[in-house]
Amino acid sequence: MNLGERVRIRRVDAGLTQARLARIAGVSRRHLAALEKGANVSLLVLKRVSDVLDVSPATFFASDAPRAAFTPRYASVFLSYGGPDEAVARRIYEELTFAGVRCFFFPVSAIPGIRLHRTMSEAIRQFDRVVLLCSEAGLQRPGVANELEQVLAREAEEGGAELIIPVALDDVLFPATAARHHVLAQIRQRVIADFRNALSDDEAWRRGIDLLLKSLRER
């Protein structure tokens, strides 16, 4: 019995049609149908369906299911973003966490009472990589500029380490726009994870998340 069959059985046991479950979970019926047929779908879709069915996503991975030859190990991640991009940051946090990546996401990870500057500075030092969400509005926030300055300093201290993974949410990192942002010169020298279409296209989102996980995989 595969994952899709287990989802379908759980849905039927709950007395829900595909249409009703999709509506409650906030996913498209097309993606739910694909999930039940065993197709690869976003981990976020599986999580939302699992939440409605009141089970852990792990429930659908039974002990008799095929196992990978090894469980990948991932570098830990500090999520850097501006306030306008918090919703996207949360989605990425949920996807990476579900895949087993240890993440620092401020609304979840910050400890009340600790000074803000100390919280962010220590996290930037403690986590392996920095996923930097880049949008025109987000990069204008002083907090993002400060985090970027700190991680660039850490890269220099570590002999030119490559810690930043830039994620493009709009055209800010691309030539016509980026010319106005000289501070991003060092960011544009890196391979960019292009999420410009991913926010409205589930398949593009899945590809983007898969690429992020690939870049975080420890070798």
Write the pLDDT tens digit of every residue in 207-217.
999 999 999 98
Instruction: Report if residue 70 sits inside a domain.
Output: no
Is 72 part of a structural domain of the chain? no
Distance of alpha carbon 199 from alpha carbon 5, whole angstroms:
29
Boundary of a domain, candidates 17, 35, 60: 60
pTM, two decimals, is 0.68
CB atoms within 10 A of CB 85: 23
Which element (helix H / strand E) includes 104?
Answer: strand 103-104
**Structural domains in the chain (count):** 2
Q: 109-162, pLDDT tens digit by residue?
A: 998 999 999 999 999 999 999 999 999 899 889 999 899 999 999 999 999 999
The verdict on 134 and 176 lying in the same domain is yes
> In this structure, is the dihedral angle defined by the CA atoms of residues 60, 66, 70 and 74, taken in order, positive or negative?
negative
Q: Are residues 144 and 47 in the same domain?
A: no
Q: Which two tokens stand for residue 195?
A: 């999420």
Q: What is the CATH number of the domain that holds 22?
A: 1.10.260.40
Tell me the C-alpha to C-alpha distance, in Å, between residue 171 and each of 23, 188, 208: 33, 12, 16
User: Domain containing 185 — which CATH number?
Assistant: 3.40.50.10140
Same domain, 134 and 87: yes
Where helices occur in 37-172 by DSSP H, the ranges are 43-52, 86-98, 106-109, 116-126, 142-157
> What is the C-alpha to C-alpha distance for residues 13 and 2, in angstroms, rounded to an integer?
17
